[in-house]
Amino acid sequence: MTYSFSILAPDIARDFGLPLETVFGLYSICLFFGSLPAPYIGKVMDAYGAALVMAVGSTIAAMTFIIAASGSVAGFFAALLLMQLTSSMVLYQAAFLALVQARPLGAGRSITYLTLVAGFSSTLFWPLSASLRESLSWREIYVSFAIMNLAICAPVHVLAIRTRTDERRSVSDVGTVLVPGLLAGRDRGPALTLVSLAFALQTFTLSAVLTHMVPMLETLGLGASAVVVGAFFGPSQVFSRVLNMVFGARMSPLMLATASCASIAIGSAVLAVTNGNFIGAIIFAICAGLGSGTSSIAQGSLPLWLFGFQHYGSITGKITAARLAFGATAPVAFSYGMELFGIRWSLGLNMMLGIVGVAFFLSVRKFVRP
């Protein structure tokens, strides 16, 4: 929904007779409350398997797309809230855990493969949403997405369910022994706090520009070229993951996370300085894509590298809750920031938050011993 929402939000606001900032405000509220169940969902996935949770979540998500097409603001808000509540059941947190549970020792490589394919999501859904907008209403578009979810995602998740409990326990035992993680004892708590804060700031900086990318670039004077510039984001995600496949063994997950956070900050700085120049906007989209692509890998590999296989779902759930709760404020905060201070100052603040995130990631290094 993230990619389509920035395209369809003006139509939704106009249809309901609401200011655009109010629509983004509703979206931010739902993002915040949707983050709260993430630790609990992580524990459930640890106990019963991520694939089962994903199958249930994808079915619920399809239903919420249909509810979103209702004719009332209350129904739309309820659909947004339910959609975000199920996000931890179907998105990267759940998918990474499913891969870790299936192949603990090969999870790092599997996570890279998954994010490589998923990197095309923005390349597909930004132009697709913009194209469908020419002939369909936003309600009809969301109903179409619901049908796609039921026809494609739900069956795949059902096929991935492991029905034999003894198999799951066997994989869990192997993973616990062979993937213990680098941190133990008193270091785990402070390190988890720093990692959670760093990912939270990174999610804020990325969500701020990602939600507003196309309309922001249009406001800067790019017009119809804004969608073209936005299309560079997806291939850049994919390219970053290809680079990680080739050279990833030479870089630790911690340094990968640090580089991804820095890339998003650099992209915000370039767009602020160039002020809507076409080349500068492309560099911004590429930097954001590179940062987003490597961040997705780091969200799965860094917790496994630091904390190990045991309770992986619970740990990633805590990180996801912090990440989404803080990132939930980004769409509305950046929207009001652009209105009050202008795009350039808002991008400058986004850059500063990214630098703080880099500092948090670097601070984790003191807990990592050879």
Is the pLDDT assigned to residue 347 strictly greater than 60? yes
Q: Tokens standing for 49?
A: 């398997």
Instruction: Categorize the per-residue pLDDT at 370 as very low, low, confident or very high, splitting at 50, 70 and 90.
Output: low
Is the pLDDT assigned to residue 90 strictly greater than 60? yes
Residue 85 identity: L
Is the pLDDT assigned to residue 164 strictly greater than 50? no
pLDDT digits (tens, 9 = 90+) for 147-156: 888 888 888 8
Which of 229, 333, 218, 345 has its CA nearest to residue 287? 229
Helix 188-217 to helix 2-16 angle (10° resolution) is: 60
pLDDT digits (tens, 9 = 90+) for 262-294: 999 999 999 988 887 888 889 999 999 899 888
Q: What is the pTM of this model?
A: 0.76
Report the C-alpha gap between 328 and 320 in whole angstroms: 12
Residue 194: HSE in the Cβ half-sphere, 13 Å Cα cutoff: 22
The DSSP symbol for 153 reads: I
The residues spanned by each domain of the chain are 2-365
Give the mean model confidence (pLDDT) for residues 238-264. Answer: 85
Q: What is the pLDDT of residue 262?
A: 95
DSSP letter string, 267-329: HHHHHHHHTT-HHHHHHHHHHHHHHHHHHHHHHHHHHHHHH-STTHHHHHHHHHHHHHHHHTT
* Helices within the chain (DSSP H only): 2-16, 20-35, 38-48, 50-68, 73-90, 92-102, 107-118, 121-132, 138-148, 154-159, 165-178, 188-217, 225-230, 233-247, 253-274, 278-307, 312-327, 330-341, 343-363
Instruction: Categorize the per-residue pLDDT at 344 as very low, low, confident or very high, splitting at 50, 70 and 90.
Output: confident
Q: Write b or e for each residue in 101-122: b if 16 or more Cβ atoms lie within 10 A of its Cβ, otherwise e.
A: bbebeebbbbbbebbbebbeeb
Q: What is the pLDDT of residue 177?
A: 46
Q: What is the pLDDT of residue 194?
A: 94
Instruction: Categorize the per-residue pLDDT at 167 as very low, low, confident or very high, splitting at 50, 70 and 90.
Output: very low
Instruction: Categorize the per-residue pLDDT at 75 as very low, low, confident or very high, splitting at 50, 70 and 90.
Output: confident
Instruction: Categorize the per-residue pLDDT at 160 as very low, low, confident or very high, splitting at 50, 70 and 90.
Output: confident
pLDDT digits (tens, 9 = 90+) for 43-74: 888 888 888 888 888 888 877 777 666 667 88
Q: What is the pLDDT of residue 163?
A: 43
Query: What mean pLDDT, rounded, does the chain reach?
Result: 81
pLDDT digits (tens, 9 = 90+) for 107-134: 777 787 787 777 667 667 767 888 888 8
Q: What is the pLDDT of residue 248?
A: 67
Is the pLDDT assigned to residue 169 strictly greater than 80? no
- Number of CB atoms found within 10 A of residue 49's CB: 25
CATH 1.20.120.420 fits 2-365, yes or no: no
pLDDT digits (tens, 9 = 90+) for 171-222: 444 444 455 567 766 778 889 999 999 999 999 999 888 877 777 888 887 8
CA distances from 105 to 16, 56, 130 (A): 50, 27, 41
